């Protein structure tokens, strides 16, 4: 490969990846902000199942708007499962399942396997907040806060887009200087 083609490959990698990250996470950030700000109407939904994500089995809630049926699940910003040593009392502590960030403590004697099924049994009612213009855009009970995660990742991409080209140019010029 010639020097110019190597520089083109480096330039595409240095600019392409951060640009992809900014566009990718920017799309999800804008979507989450739209859901958070435009979901102004509420309706009662019914728990119809459980979605296994983020270590938990969050309830899936079915709701009807204008004769159309939609489904959404309770989402969390951060979920951590901590396994503690045998017979630790902390594992039996109560968990606020409506918080955006939860930590589930388990050990060999205390199981939290049916935690969500016990708190949100099938057929129970939960409030769903939805966008009146697009009822599919909704959240269950409270907003999860995922916009912060996507915004942080988008800013990381922006900083990489600024700093990586500078670092590559510096590395190339220093390499040419010491050849």
Least confident range from 39-53, 102-116, 150-164: namely 102-116
What percentage of residues in the chain have a pLDDT greater than 90? 32
Could you tell me if residue 3 is left (phi over 0), alpha (psi between -120 and 50 degrees) or otherwise beta?
alpha
Instruction: Summarize pLDDT for 32-82 with one digit per residue, the tens.
Output: 888 888 889 999 999 998 887 757 788 899 999 999 999 998 888 777 777
Do the strands 101-106 and 125-131 form a parallel or antiparallel pair, or are they unpaired? unpaired
Determine the average pLDDT of the residues in 12-20.
87
Alpha-carbon distance of 148 to 36, in angstroms, equals: 12
State how far the Cα of 73 lies from the Cα of 128, in Å rounded to an integer.
9
**Model pLDDT, residue 178:** 67
Q: Dump the DSSP string for 126-139.
A: EEEEEETTEEEEEE
Mean pLDDT, residues 88-92: 54
Domain layout of the chain by residue ranges: 1-39+145-179, 40-142
Q: Are the beta carbons of 63 and 69 closer than 8 angstroms?
A: yes
Q: pLDDT class for 119, splitting at 50, 70, 90?
A: confident
| pTM: predicted TM-score of the whole model, two decimal places | 0.68
Helix%, strand%, coil% for the chain, nearest 5:
45, 30, 25
Determine the average pLDDT of the residues in 89-107: 69
């Amino acid at each position: 490969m010639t020097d110019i083609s190597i520089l083109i490959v480096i330039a595409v990698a240095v600019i392409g990846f951060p640009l992809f990250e900014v566009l990718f996470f920017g799309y999800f950030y804008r979507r989450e902000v739209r859901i958070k700000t435009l979901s102004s109407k509420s309706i009662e939904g019914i728990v119809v199942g459980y979605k296994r994500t983020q270590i938990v089995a969050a309830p899936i809630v079915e709701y009807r708007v204008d004769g159309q049926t939609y489904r959404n699940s309770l989402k969390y910003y951060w979920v951590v499962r901590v396994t503690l040593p045998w017979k630790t009392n902390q594992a039996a502590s109560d968990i606020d399942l409506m918080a955006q960030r939860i930590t589930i403590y388990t050990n060999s004697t205390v199981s939290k396997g049916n935690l969500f099924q016990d708190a949100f049994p099938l057929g129970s009612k939960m409030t769903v907040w939805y966008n009146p213009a697009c009822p599919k855009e909704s959240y269950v009970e409270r907003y999860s806060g995922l916009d912060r995660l996507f915004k942080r990742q988008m800013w990381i991409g922006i900083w990489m887009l600024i700093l990586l080209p500078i670092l590559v140019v510096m590395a190339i010029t220093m390499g040419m200087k010491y050849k």
